[in-house]
């Protein structure tokens, strides 16, 4: 469950870690324990770190997974090596033609400029606490708390993150608990506090449950 990187050793939320985390959560939450008897375990989500991952998060905001994948395929065709300098060197309009909205082009450009200017260092995030890393990312234009938490979960592989602003997660939590009303972000976060220190694994399970739970 650990791998060596340039920054040292980090936890990787692989299948073994997911099973371990959910076994711990199931001892604290009978609804999760019962659901695990009906559906399979979720698959890991391990993404690279750095500019490309943050660019991909910007692309994925407010659009479907399929649409985001298609746009990223076109971006990769433009940029065989996706980096901040290479992005800034693209001709005007190239990212718009790849499918990014005008606002998202502004966000990607601002991110690339911040990295090139030394105002933001994605590598340094690995050495920061969860709250510090979230704050660093949220300082960037177009990257809010949800984007930061997704980066921590999938790129930095932090095990205890719960992106309560995610609508699908809240719908899944409502379904899991059998609640009449969908919880807001604060109530959702409070309701899974006992899942610590495995809330990332719990989030993976909720997304999986939302898609595949029997009705």
The fraction of the chain above a pLDDT of 90, given in percent, is 91
Q: Which of 121, 166, 180, 186 is catalytic?
A: 166
Would you say 86 and 75 are in contact if contact means Cβ atoms under 8 Å apart? no
Q: Which CATH number fits domain 2-45+161-212: 3.30.70.2500, 1.20.120.10, 1.10.1670.40, 2.120.10.90?
A: 1.10.1670.40
pLDDT tens digits, residue range 176-192?
999 999 999 999 999 99
- pLDDT score, position 94: 98
List, in sequence order, every residue forming a beta bridge with 11; answer none if it has no partner.
Answer: 2
Residue 163: count other Cβ atoms within 10 Å of its Cβ: 22
List, in sequence order, every residue forming a beta bridge with 2; answer none if it has no partner.
Answer: 11
Name the architecture of domain 51-154.
Answer: Orthogonal Bundle (1.10)
Q: How confident is the model at residue 2 (pLDDT cuts 50, 70, 90)?
A: very low
Average pLDDT over residues 30-36: 97
Domain boundaries, the chain: 2-45+161-212, 51-154
pTM beyond 0.85, yes or no: yes
166 has catalytic annotation? yes
pLDDT tens digits, residue range 134-184?
999 999 999 999 999 999 999 999 999 999 999 999 999 999 999 999 999
Close Cβ partners of 171 (under 8 Å, ≥ 6 residues apart): 182, 210
State whether residue 4 is helix, strand or coil.
Answer: strand
Q: Please name which of 6, 4, 18 lies closest in space to residue 125, comparing C-alpha atoms.
A: 6
CA distances from 98 to 70, 83, 110, 143 (A): 9, 16, 18, 20
């Amino acid at each position: 469950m650990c791998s060596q990187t340039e920054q040292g050793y980090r936890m990787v939320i692989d299948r073994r870690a997911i099973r371990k985390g959910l076994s711990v959560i199931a001892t604290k939450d009978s609804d999760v324990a019962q659901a695990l008897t009906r559906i399979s375990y979720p698959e890991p989500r391990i993404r690279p770190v750095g500019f490309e991952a943050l660019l991909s998060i910007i692309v994925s905001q407010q659009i479907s997974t399929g649409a985001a994948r298609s746009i990223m395929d076109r971006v990769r065709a433009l940029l065989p090596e996706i980096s901040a300098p290479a992005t800034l060197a693209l001709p005007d309009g190239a990212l718009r033609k790849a499918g990014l909205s005008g606002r998202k082009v502004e966000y990607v450009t601002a991110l690339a400029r911040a990295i090139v200017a030394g105002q933001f260092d994605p590598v340094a995030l690995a050495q920061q606490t969860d709250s510090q890393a979230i704050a660093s990312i949220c300082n960037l234009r177009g990257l809010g708390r949800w984007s930061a938490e997704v980066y921590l979960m999938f790129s930095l592989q932090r095990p205890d993150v719960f992106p309560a602003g995610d609508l699908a997660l809240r719908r899944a939590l409502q379904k899991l608990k059998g609640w009449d009303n969908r919880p807001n972000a604060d109530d959702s976060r409070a309701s899974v506090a006992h899942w610590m220190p495995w809330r990332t694994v719990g989030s993976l399970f909720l997304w999986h449950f939302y898609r595949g739970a029997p009705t």
